[in-house]
Amino acid sequence: MRLLILLTALLGSCAPGYHAAFKKEAALLPDPPVSTEGAWKGSWKSDTNGHLGPLWCIVLPSPGKPGTHDFSYRAGWGVLRFGNYTHTTPTTRNRDGSLILNGAMALPAGLGTYKVKGKLTATTFDATYSSKHDSGSFTLRRP
């Protein structure tokens, strides 16, 4: 919980812009989806304290950075509290088209390192996260 609050507070951006980008990406998804890129919707849950909330993500290749993807998240917690952040993460494409993510970023103020590991297919996005004060999971599916 602390991790998500910190990330969204420090790396937040304008919500109307996120909603517009998410709607655009969701509208571009073929039915059925054929790649790991685009819009995702689901939830996060802390294994540390049981807190949970809604989670949206837009996954796109990082411009000019081969082998990485930008994961632009919008996370919710508590009553009407939301925040946005983008995590550029190293990725590996498997022969079956799935995408493996395994990244880390240093958090400010001595809060340690945020780590994320997961796998995306065209229809599933399952990942775990950990930091100095929290760990948990993301479960997302296509909107």
Q: 82: which strand partners?
A: 76
CATH class label, 2-141: mainly beta
| The predicted structure's pLDDT at residue 80 | 72
The answer, yes or no, to whether residue 72 has pLDDT greater than 70, is yes
Taking 3-state DSSP, the helix, strand and coil percentages for the chain, each rounded to the nearest 5, stand at: 15, 50, 35
The domain segmentation of the chain, as residue ranges, is 2-141
What pLDDT score does 110 carry?
A: 77
- Confidence check: pLDDT of 17 > 70: yes
Confidence check: pLDDT of 97 > 90: yes
Whole-number percent of the chain with pLDDT over 90: 71
Residue range 31-54: mean pLDDT, rounded: 95
